[in-house]
Chain A
Amino acid sequence: MRKAGVDRDREEFADFYQRSRDNCLRAVLASTGNRALAEDLVAEAFARAWASWHKVNRHPAPAAWVVRTALNVRVSWWRRHRREVALDGHDQAEVADDSAELHDGLLAAVRRLPQRQREVVVLRIWLDLDTNTVADVLGISAKTVAVHLSRATATLRAQFVPVASQGVPS
């Protein structure tokens, strides 16, 4: 009986992982700009989701739980790494250079957004969450989500236009 429950949990988690892993990685990558780091963070967050699957499974948006966990892990990782770097006498700029790998103006603009706007954009764009679910996940009102999204979109549009115009023949 217990084994059947474990097997069912594994199936559910495997299905969740297959469906959400790419979008979770994209969401975290958009926030960090470093592919290898993003993949490690997402893997760790999924592992934590599996470790607490009974809780995460009941979350209104489990993929959002994974993304937020990954980004929280990143904060811990950064703090730990910063200490290690200081002890080793290495240059911290090596870690801080998030934009070197992507070379993409749009993604750089996403990372420059204020934190709340960035969270709304990431959850909305890559996890396809509606306004109410984003509000639930972030613990803010739906109206506030709409305001953040509107401001973020305006910022991104301003960034996007010159990029788009580069490919338009005069």
Chain B
Amino acid sequence: MNDDEVLDAVKQTLSGVRMDRPIDTIERRGRVRRRRRKLLGLAAGGGLAVLAALALALPTATNRPGTFPGGGPSLSPAAFSLVRQQDQTVKLTLNYEQILDPVALEDALADAGIPAVVKTQALCFPAKKELPSARRVFRTEQVSWPDGSAKETALVIDPAMMPKHSLIYFSILKLPPDDKFGKVARVLVADDDPMVCREFRR
């Protein structure tokens, strides 16, 4: 047997094998990967750096701290914690898994003097630019968990530093179950700034 005959004989051993996976399932899986990649890229700082928006990683573990260091009265329950601190800033900690009612968070923020729009499963960014005062309005803090083994990032908002006619746009994204983190992005904009929102579906 010459080389070609040997290789041809090997090739024939699998000639009856066919791939019958429908292309729809392939494309669907590919779209999920593409969306997730974009999302993680944005959250890692690529796209959001342009927006000067910050992505917060929220662990998916179920145990949550009951109180916050330096905390005051809690303004709202489980899906999110909104606490006014002694310096009049407001600390927001989100459990993205339970954010099912964006209006409830908007109302709670409004009660705390923070005009906001909350979008779930959509990433929103301004058609122009984020307001430069954003860096004075936001800061992040780590929250110690009861057993000290995990950390969570909370967003501290200073409503006094928000310019007149400004608001905060929150984008809360829940990734597929096998992902460890959900993502939250926020951006400070003028209340008449046009926003561009891209929807993410699971």
Q: Which residues of B contact A83 (CB under 8 A)?
A: none
Q: Does A148 interact with chain B (Cβ within 8 Å)?
A: no
Chain B residue at minimal CB-CB distance from A30: B14
Residue pair B7, A121 in contact (C-beta under 8 Å): yes
Residue pair A104, B19 in contact (C-beta under 8 Å): no
Q: Does A65 interact with chain B (Cβ within 8 Å)?
A: no
A14, A39, A121, A125: the one within 8 Å of B21 (CB): A39
**Given A46-B26, A106-B9, A153-B6: A160 touches B1 (CB 8 Å cut-off):** yes
State in angstroms the CA–CA spacing of A49 and B31 once bound together.
10
Residue pair A17, B29 in contact (C-beta under 8 Å): no
State in angstroms the CA–CA spacing of A71 and B26 once bound together.
17
Q: Does B176 interact with chain A (Cβ within 8 Å)?
A: no
Q: Which residues of B contact A75 (CB under 8 A)?
A: none
Q: Does B33 interact with chain A (Cβ within 8 Å)?
A: yes
Q: Does B142 interact with chain A (Cβ within 8 Å)?
A: no
A13, A44, A106, A161: the one within 8 Å of B29 (CB): A44
Residue pair B33, A51 in contact (C-beta under 8 Å): yes
Residue pair A26, B23 in contact (C-beta under 8 Å): no
Chain B residue at minimal CB-CB distance from A46: B26
**Given A22-B17, A25-B18: A10 touches B10 (CB 8 Å cut-off):** no
Q: Does B27 interact with chain A (Cβ within 8 Å)?
A: yes
Q: Which residues of B contact A26 (CB under 8 A)?
A: 14-15, 17
Residue pair A51, B31 in contact (C-beta under 8 Å): yes
Q: Which residues of A contact B27 (CB under 8 A)?
A: 10, 13, 47, 50
Residue pair A106, B13 in contact (C-beta under 8 Å): yes
Q: Which residues of A contact B13 (CB under 8 A)?
A: 104, 106-107
**Given A26-B14, A107-B13: A157 touches B6 (CB 8 Å cut-off):** yes
State in angstroms the CA–CA spacing of A49 and B33 once bound together.
10
Q: Which residues of B contact A134 (CB under 8 A)?
A: none
Residue pair B37, A51 in contact (C-beta under 8 Å): yes
State in angstroms the CA–CA spacing of A157 and B3 once bound together.
8
Q: Does B25 interact with chain A (Cβ within 8 Å)?
A: yes
Q: Does A59 interact with chain B (Cβ within 8 Å)?
A: no
Q: Does A74 interact with chain B (Cβ within 8 Å)?
A: no
Q: Which residues of A contact B3 (CB under 8 A)?
A: 149-150, 153, 157
Write out, one digit per residue, whether chain B residues 29-55 have a CB within 8 A of any chain A CB (1) or not (0). Answer: 111011001000000000000000000
Residue pair B29, A47 in contact (C-beta under 8 Å): yes
Instruction: Give B contacts to A, CB under 8 Å.
Output: 1, 3, 6-7, 9-11, 13-15, 17-19, 21, 23, 25-27, 29-31, 33-34, 37
Which 4 pairs across A and B sit closest by C-beta, in order of nearness?
A: A50-B30, A47-B29, A21-B19, A51-B33
The contact sample of 6 A-B pairs, CB cut-off 8 A, is A24-B19, A26-B15, A30-B14, A42-B21, A50-B29, A161-B1
